[in-house]
């Protein structure tokens, strides 16, 4: 009888085999590309967790790249799944993904379809959030990352390309060497058309892209970054002039970050150039919040953990803490306070929106700000006694909006964090992420424009919701809350 009940239960559950840990998956579809599949699931995950597809470089295996990139450790720390396609030597003697062959780079066939089937397998056997599926890889895996985003834009929200070339920079093995050498140059429209033509009837959004590349890469020339920027900015209908250039990114003089925004001023392409690095991923072994990975043949210690910043770009990191303070202020309002938890010996570096001034507290965990009339982010980075950097952690502050709508505080503090990059709302009780139920968004006339009765830790705001002030209702542990939020 017990066995019979187990069979019934398994028929309705996500799977009948142990879901946690590293495991090979031998049967995941027709597998026309003849690839191997490995999956990793942390011991305990919330429902609707993100999924990251991770692809190795030439001469590597899934196991080696998992260890060097640290993606499984990040999955444990920040609660998401990973899946690793692995090349078969019978397909390519150097164990490179065949990103340059028409039979493997087009939608619906070959290696690209095999990888798509791995995603479908994970969605069938685990509780995956279909709106938070991402892809990344190194070298041939990076090139295949561009293939997957172009071939299946409805599947992947974002991708992180570690030393790759644009989609369809080559369609033969001979042309692949020319592309890797940085000799394939096209106009933005030509590059963009290659992506658009892959799914000629597709009308949905395309993935956002982060590109990571060493400045002296002898295998995949740095010129490919320029061509990738052309391709993906054109797909997102924007130009190739960076809207934000950050030299010495996060205090690292080796790293320059460029951000390219679309017409709505939302980041759609980011590039990270690591000065003096060759053909590799950048890692930063250590125990700090933003450290990880291990060195190897294609993994270099650059004091910059590229997998972490890719996960940050994917917006799947658990925030270490939240900033406390007013999220809606009046134009020219003075004396507004913001703070984060105090850790003895740490110093805190704050930034505020244009036109605002930090009048006191810079260097400490609490500041006082005089605002101008420009909305933006209040951000802080913490450096502890051992030199570990955490952050930046940010909140969006709306300026010049005033309403008489009251907020109900409940018996404890529910905090709302709105990520404007991907229009997602996150919930915290105090400084810890929490789940809410009976969630609803109301406009200022009281009309309900969105609702959800299931438990959720984050909520993606539909593109149809226009910019403006809204009231959120949510329940945490039986306590009802109302909160104002500015959505842009």
% helix / strand / coil in the chain, to the nearest 5?
20, 35, 45
Query: Please, is 39 exposed, middle or buried when counting C-beta atoms within 10 Å of its C-beta (0-12, 13-18, 19+)?
Result: buried
Contact assessment for residue 407 and residue 472, using Cβ atoms and an 8 Å cutoff: no
Contact assessment for residue 144 and residue 76, using Cβ atoms and an 8 Å cutoff: no
C-alpha separations of 450 from 2, 453, 471 in Å: 43, 11, 11
Task: Tell me how long the chain is.
Answer: 488
Q: Which of 69, 114, 139, 307 is catalytic?
A: 139
What tokens does 359 get? 């009048």
| Angle at 409 (CA atoms; ends 407, 414), nearest 5 degrees | 105
- Please tell me the distance from the alpha carbon of residue 34 to that of residue 29, in angstroms, as a whole number: 10
Query: How many C-beta atoms lie closer than 10 Å to residue 308's C-beta?
Result: 25
Closest CA to 163 of 143, 184, 134: 143
- Phi, psi (degrees; rounded to nearest 5) at 262: -90, -170
Closest CA to 195 of 226, 241, 243, 227: 227
Closest CA to 370 of 342, 417, 330: 330
What tokens does 304 get? 């910059």
Q: Please say if 69 is a catalytic residue.
A: no
Largest Cα–Cα separation, the chain: 71
Instruction: Give 392's DSSP letter.
Output: E
Sheet containing strand 347-351, edge to edge, reads 328-329, 389-399, 376-383, 347-351
Helices (DSSP H) in 185-222: which residue ranges?
A: 188-198
Closest CA to 231 of 162, 165, 308: 165
What tokens does 414 get? 């529910």
Contact assessment for residue 376 and residue 397, using Cβ atoms and an 8 Å cutoff: yes
Contact assessment for residue 250 and residue 273, using Cβ atoms and an 8 Å cutoff: no
- Please tell me the distance from the alpha carbon of residue 119 to that of residue 131, in angstroms, as a whole number: 12
Q: What is the crossing angle of helices 223-235 and 188-198, to 10°?
A: 60
For 324, how many CA atoms within 13 A lie in the half-sphere containing its CB? 12
- Please tell me the distance from the alpha carbon of residue 65 to that of residue 399, in angstroms, as a whole number: 45
Residues recognised as catalytic: 139
């Amino acid at each position: 009888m017990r066995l019979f009940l187990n069979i019934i239960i398994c028929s309705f559950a996500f799977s009948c085999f142990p879901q946690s840990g590293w495991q090979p998956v031998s049967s995941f579809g027709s597998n026309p590309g003849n690839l191997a599949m490995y999956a990793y699931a942390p011991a305990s995950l919330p429902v609707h967790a993100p999924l990251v597809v991770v692809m190795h470089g030439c001469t590597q295996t899934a196991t080696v790249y998992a260890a060097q990139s640290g993606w499984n450790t990040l999955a444990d720390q920040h609660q998401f799944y990973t899946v690793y396609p692995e090349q078969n030597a019978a397909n390519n003697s150097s164990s490179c993904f065949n990103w340059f062959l028409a039979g493997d780079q087009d939608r619906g066939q070959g290696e690209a379809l095999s990888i798509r089937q791995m995603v479908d397998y994970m969605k069938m056997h685990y509780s995956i959030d279909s709106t938070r599926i991402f892809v990344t890889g190194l070298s041939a895996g990076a090139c295949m990352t561009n293939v997957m985003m172009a071939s299946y834009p409805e599947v992947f929200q974002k991708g992180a390309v570690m030393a790759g070339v644009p989609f369809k920079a080559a369609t033969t093995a001979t042309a692949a060497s020319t592309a890797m050498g940085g000799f394939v140059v096209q106009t933005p429209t030509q590059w963009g058309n290659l992506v658009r033509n892959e799914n000629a009837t597709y009308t949905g959004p395309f993935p956002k892209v982060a590109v990571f590349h060493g400045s002296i890469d002898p295998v995949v020339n740095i010129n490919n970054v320029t061509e990738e920027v052309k391709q993906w900015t054109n797909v997102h209908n924007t130009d190739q002039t960076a809207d934000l250039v950050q030299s010495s990114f996060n205090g690292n003089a080796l790293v320059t970050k460029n951000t390219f925004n679309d017409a709505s001023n939302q980041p759609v392409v980011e590039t990270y150039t690591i000065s003096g690095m060759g053909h590799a991923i950048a890692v930063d072994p250590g125990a700090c919040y933003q450290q990880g990975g291990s060195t190897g043949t294609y993994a270099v210690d650059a004091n910059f953990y590229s997998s972490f910043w890719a996960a940050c770009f994917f917006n799947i990191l658990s925030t270490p803490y939240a900033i406390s303070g007013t999220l809606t202020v009046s134009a020219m309002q003075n004396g507004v306070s913001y703070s984060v938890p105090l850790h003895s010996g740490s110093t805190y570096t704050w930034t505020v929106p244009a036109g605002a001034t930090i009048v006191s507290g810079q260097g400490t965990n609490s500041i006082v700000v005089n605002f101008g009339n420009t909305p933006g982010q209040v951000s802080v980075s913490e450096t502890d006694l051992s030199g570990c950097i955490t952050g930046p952690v940010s909140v969006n502050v709306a300026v010049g909006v005033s309403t008489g709508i009251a907020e109900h505080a409940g018996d404890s503090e529910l905090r709302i964090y709105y990520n404007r990059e991907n229009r997602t709302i996150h919930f915290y009780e105090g400084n810890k992420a929490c789940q809410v139920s009976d969630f609803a968004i109301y406009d200022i006339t009281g009309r309900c424009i969105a609702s959800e009765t299931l438990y959720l830790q984050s909520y993606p705001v539909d593109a149809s919701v226009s910019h403006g002030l809204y009231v959120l209702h949510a329940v945490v542990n039986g306590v009802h809350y109302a909160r104002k939020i500015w959505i842009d």
